[in-house]
Structures are given as C-alpha cells and as structure tokens.
Structure 1
Amino acid sequence: MGTMRRSLCSRLRNLTFRSFLLLLVLTTVIINEFLVHRIQSWRWPAMPHPYKDSEEEMRILFVSDPQIIGYQDESMFPIGSLTRWDSDSFLSRTFSLAFSYAQPDVVVFLGDLMDEGSRATPAEYEIYMDRIESIFYSARHVKKIFVPGDNDIGGEGRDFRSPFKIARFENHFENLTGIERVGFIDFIKLDLRFNRDMPLEQRKLLEKLKKHFTAPLRLIVNHETMLPKLKSFIHPILMEVQPHLLMSGHWHEVSLGPVSGSIEVGLVGGVLGYGVGEPSMGYRVGLIDPEGHVKYTVLWLPSRYIQLYAYLGVLVLVAILFISCCIMQSLWQQQQPRYPR
C-alpha cells in the first residue's frame, strides 16, 4: 500500500512539474506573439480621428523594404521553412495592427518587397505573390502603390537589371514610372537612379509626365533616396516636377532633410528589417491636407530578435529544468529502500 502511495505522489509531482514547464512555454508564446504587439501599439502617438472625406486629409501608410525572405539564400528544410513562416507571421501581424491603427486611404510600398525577387525562378515568384497577398491582406480593399527596389528588379552590385525582370514586376504589380492620382495628390513614380546625370530619355519622360499633373499636390515616391546625391543629379528632376514632398526607402533608417525646396523623408527600412537584420523597425504614417501641411510619425515595432532570444532562453531553461528533474528523480529512486515482495 505504501509503495502505491509513493508511486502516485511521484506521478503527481511529475505531472505538476511538466504542467509548469508547458505553462512557461505557452506564456512566452502569448507574450511574444500577442501582448508585446498590443503593448507597443499603446505607445504609438495618438492620431486624430480620420475625416470621412479623403479630400480634407489624406492618410498614407508607407511600407519600405519588407524584403520577404526567399528560398535560394536560406537554409534547407526545416530551418528555411521555419524562418520564412516566422518572418511572414511577424509581418502580417504588425502590418494588420498598423493598418488598423492608421486607417489609411492609400498604402505605398517603397521597394524591396522581396529579398530575392530579381533572382527568383518563375515558380518562386508566384509563391512570393501568394505570400504578399496573404501578408498584406488587411489592405485588400485600399488603394496600393508599388515602387520597385533593387531586390525586386536588380540594379545593385552584380545583380543587374534586365528587361525580363522589369517586365515581370510590371506584369505582377504596376508600371515602374507613371502618375497615380489619389484624392488631391499626384503620386509620381519616376524609378529614379542617381549614379549619373539625367539622360535625355529620362528628361523626355519628365516632360511627358508633367503634362498629366492634375492634382494640387505632387509627391515623388522612389526607392533610392535623393538626400546624399549631387545637386547636378537631382536639380533637373526637381525643376521639372516641382514636388512638394519626396518619400524614399532603401537606407533602412529614418532620415529627413530638405532637397532644393522640397522635403525628403527616408523611411524606416525593412519594416521588416527583420528579414535583413535590422534591429529597429516600424511603419511610417503621413497625414497631408490640401494646403500641403504634412504630419508624419513612425509606428515603431517591438524587436523580433529580442523575442527570438526570449524563446531561446526559455527553451534552454526548460531543458535544464527538465534534465535536472530527471536526474533528481533518478537519484531519489536509487536512495529508496527496496522491500521484498
């Protein structure tokens, strides 16, 4: 009878200990995947209630450099699959939260949507498109503007541009250059590159686009920033377009500065810098009225790397506790007297 009682107590202790370990893991998951994002959103700056009429104020949510993780440079199964799933989940949750918070009239993607878009095979590209639709599903009914980055169509280092890469992007998204009018703003896509003076073809393009400016405000959206470029590179562009604001990505950091009478705002890179190792990530929201008054802020996100380190720490702790418990239980059983049957 005593042996049965000791056996039952031992099982209850093991059950309670295992339940504690399971509760510790579940608590970490709930905090990392749900509570942290909500708590961070409470720290976002208060935004005025949106106008019913978008002609009174335009709300723009900017997404720069999400760089959705690809397939060629990642580890093989299961590490690569787990990394892609984790990154996509993080992007989806944070974008949905930012979208709900900002309630934008338009979402502007400032390039580098995909980490390996310019090198992706046709099959990989189609999978990319499904993932993009799933990640940014919250914005399915809102106007979206897409600007390509070097990771999408090439153009950096040995990853050269090609007509095939450009055509593929335009077939799946929209033209590299053009004008998108939304409310009182002309969003001007120029696909600007500043490694040389403006070629004659680009000058003719600007003159052609200039004839189609219809909105009172003009906003250039581009992946590559103008801030560090020589005046001889950008002055002809600004003289032709005369933009009120320029928005760019690529740098993976926040920057603000005047550009020959206009203002350029460089966005937080990689809202998902997560995919490219950025510790600070966020979405930028701009509020613009018809008179050209601009308010903007960054909706900072919690560091995913800290969350992953927390997971690693908890798993190590659980492993240590579990192994210690097994050792202690084994030693305890060895010390118990054995009664003859």
Structure 2
Amino acid sequence: MIRRNRIKIKLLIIAVFFGITVFYNEYLAYEIKTIEWPIKHCTDCVKILLVADPQLIGEINENYLGASFARWDSDRYTAKTFSRALNLAQPDVIVFLGDLMDEGHIATNKDFLKYKQRFDNIFYTPEHIMKIYIPGDNDIGGEEDLVSSQIHERFKIAFTQHDTLTFKHLIFFKVNKLTRYMPNAPKDAFLNDYAERNTTNVVLSHIPLLFTPDTFVKNVIKELSPQVIFTAHNHKAMHLSLDTTIDQLSDIRALSPHNPQLYRLRLDMGDIHELQIPSCSYRMGTRFMGYGLAYIDTQDKSVEFTILWLPERFTKLCGYVIWVGIVFIMCIRSYSCCCSTPTRVPYNYLSSI
C-alpha cells in the first residue's frame, strides 16, 4: 500500500510538471516573445506586415508516419504567431512574399484547393486590411523545374489582384524574377523629383534582387524607380542598400535575432533599400523565424522596419518527446513493482521445551 501511494505521488508530480510545460510551450512562450517586439504607434505612416515562406506542408512528399501531426502542429504554430503579429502590429497592408505552399507547384487542382483553404484559415485577416500575394517557386515552380504557365495561372486566379497596387501614397509593384516579369509603371510613378513629392515606390519580389544585378534587375530599378524592395526566399533577415550614384552595394547587413530593434532608413538620399524577410515556418530548417514589419512615412521620407522574431518550436517538441519517455519508464517501473511478489522468509517452529 505504501509503495503504491509513492508511485501515485510521483505520477502526480510528473503530471503537474508536464502541465506546466504544456502551458509554457503552447501559450506563455508566445506571449513572452511578443514582449520583445519593438512595436510603435504612428498615425501618419503606412504599417506593412510582411509574411515570407510559410510553405504549408503538403500531402504528396510529406506522407510518412506522423505527417498528419506535423501538418497540424505546423499550421497551428503559424496561425498562433500570425494572429499575435496581426493584433499587435495593426497593419494597414499585409504582403505575402511567396512560397505560400510547399507543394503548390506539384499539387493537383483538388489538393491546391485544400491548401488554399488551409492558408485562408491560418492567415485569417479582416477585410479592411489590404492584402498582396506574390508567387514563389514552391507555388508555381521555377527553381528546380520550369514555371508552368497553367500552374501560374491557377495561382493568379486563386489570388486575384492587379500587379500594380496603391495604398495612400505608396505604389506597390509585384515583380516576378522567376518569369522575368515586371508591370509597367504608371506615368506618375517615376521619381526623378522624389525629394519634392510624397510618393514611395515599393517593389515586391519573392526572389532577392540586389544580390544578383542582372539585366532584369537593372530594368526593374530603371523602370520602376523603387526606394524600398521587400524580398524573401533565403529564409534570412538581411538589409542591402544600393548606392545609385555609383551603382554598387553600400551596405549588407544581417539582422540579429538576439537584438530586436527598429531600424530607420532615409528614402531621399538616392539609395535603394532591399529588406529580406525570414521564413515564418519552423519547418524550413532554420532556427530563427519571424515576420517583417515596416513603417513607411512618405511625409518624413523614411522607413522604419524590424523583425518580429518568433519562439523556437523544435526544442519544445523535443521536450515533449523526453516527457513521453519519462512517463513510459515510470509506467514500466510501476507495472514491475505491482507484478512482483514479496519474498517470503522460511522459518521453522521451535519445539516447545
């Protein structure tokens, strides 16, 4: 009886600590991380939330034992982090910088609709917020295979919108380096007199541009005259600056996840700034995930940006595995103790004298 009570107490202690672990992993860790986010409040700026490479897990390549749990946990993690970023940042515009799905380029029409529904559920957004969608190589092909015109058309139908969009004094240009496409700039988009105007040209591309200044990139810079470029694909957070007077990169900087801060850049100094946004999915083989957040002030001619770094997930999943191992060992020991019989000590009666 005493032994059984000790086992029950041990199991109760394990259950309590496991409950604390679940509470921290599934709620508190997210809340603690948001405290570190350098959110600011402004009335004259345009707030842009940038979502890069969510790559929702598909069902074709991910068909191993436990794949359903992996999809569920990854979707749940992304939904929880996005909802927090949305609520705290209160953006005017949300830009999805491509690779929305991991298997969009190889999915059947039926599977694509399922992935699209999952995407809409995870990234649920109020109607009053402007949303912009950029296709990535995992959505339409183009990295290890050719871009399929049929698949590309399917993506454009699913995420129907123009390639040139305006919000207040911002003009967004959707550029596709995979297909070598860029929209025609409206006449009022040229910014030779930008210092005297309040317009900002923003180029959106899944593939980074300034690292590989080929003919296509030079045409984008010449025709669209951007001050800011937002890109993704590499799953890293970086800032690049192109000095247009000498046509060379003047700054290349990786953004540290250990020192979250607001970075301020001028937009009237003749430089073009490219901001690469990391993946928001923990399944992309990178330890540090995040969302981008930019504040563009056309009056002040400046942009402030930061990365909303997200909590790690793999370490927490490993912690769950350790807990399961502990419980399994405790159950085995408890079963062994219950099944074992007490050892009887043989003795003989003494004969009476």
- Decide which moves more: 24-33 or 241-250: 24-33
Q: Distance in 2 between matches of 1:231 and 1:80?
A: 40
Where in structure 1 do 4 or more consecutive aligned residues deviate above 6 Å?
A: none
- Please state if 1:334 is matched with 2:327: no
How far 1:212 moved relative to its partner?
6.5
Q: What is aligned with 1:33?
A: 26
Q: Indicate which of 295, 298, 301 corresponds to 2:307.
A: 298
Q: What is aligned with 2:55?
A: 67
Q: What is aligned with 2:135?
A: 148
How far 1:231 moved relative to its partner?
5.0
Q: Indicate which of 182, 189, 192 corresponds to 2:177.
A: 192
- Please state if 1:20 is matched with 2:10: no
Q: Which runs of 5+ in 2 are unaligned?
A: 191-197, 245-270, 347-353
Aligned residues of 1:50 and 1:103 also touching (Cα < 8 A): no
Give the AA of the match of 1:266. Q
Tell me the secondary structure at the aligned position of residue 68 of structure 1: coil
How far 1:26 moved relative to its partner?
2.3
- Please state if 1:275 is matched with 2:263: no
Q: What is aligned with 1:263?
A: 273
User: What CA deviation, in whole Å up to 9, does each residue of 1:228-273 have, x standing for no partner?
Assistant: 21354422221111111000000110111113331111111x211x
- Please state if 1:219 is matched with 2:228: no
Q: Which runs of 5+ in 1 are unaligned?
A: 1-5
Q: What is the RMSD computed on CA atoms of the aligned residues?
A: 2.3
Tell me the secondary structure at the aligned position of residue 185 of structure 2: helix
Give the TM-score normalised by structure 2: 0.81
- Decide which moves more: 66-75 or 25-34: 25-34
Identity among equivalent positions (%) equals 32
Give the AA of the match of 1:184. H
Q: What is aligned with 1:3?
A: none
Give the AA of the match of 1:238. I
Seen in structure 2, the aligned counterparts of structure 1 residues 13 and 119 have a Cα distance that, compared at 3 Å, is: same
Tell me the secondary structure at the aligned position of residue 165 of structure 1: helix
Q: Distance in 1 between matches of 2:210 and 2:345?
A: 80
- Please state if 1:209 is matched with 2:194: no
Q: Distance in 1 between matches of 2:22 and 2:233?
A: 32
Aligned residues of 1:217 and 1:244 also touching (Cα < 8 A): yes
Q: What is aligned with 2:156?
A: 170
Aligned residues of 2:295 and 2:303 also touching (Cα < 8 A): yes
1:102-117 → structure 2 map (5 Å cutoff): 102-117=89-104
How far 1:14 moved relative to its partner?
4.4
User: What CA deviation, in whole Å up to 9, does each residue of 1:282-323 have, x standing for no partner?
Assistant: 111001111331100111111111111111111112222232
- Please state if 1:309 is matched with 2:318: yes
Aligned residues of 2:142 and 2:178 also touching (Cα < 8 A): no
Number of aligned residues: 311
Q: What is aligned with 1:94?
A: 81
Give the AA of the match of 1:210. P
Q: Indicate which of 222, 227, 237 corresponds to 1:244.
A: 227
Give the TM-score normalised by structure 1: 0.84
Aligned residues of 1:178 and 1:209 also touching (Cα < 8 A): no
Aligned residues of 1:44 and 1:300 also touching (Cα < 8 A): yes
Give the AA of the match of 1:316. G
Q: What is aligned with 1:131?
A: 118
User: What CA deviation, in whole Å up to 9, does each residue of 1:6-38 have, x standing for no partner?
Assistant: 4xx555444433333333332221111101111
Aligned residues of 2:49 and 2:292 also touching (Cα < 8 A): yes
Q: Distance in 2 between matches of 1:183 and 1:337?
A: 91
How far 1:153 moved relative to its partner?
0.6
Aligned residues of 1:68 and 1:275 also touching (Cα < 8 A): no
- Please state if 1:319 is matched with 2:320: no
Q: Distance in 2 between matches of 1:44 and 1:118?
A: 34
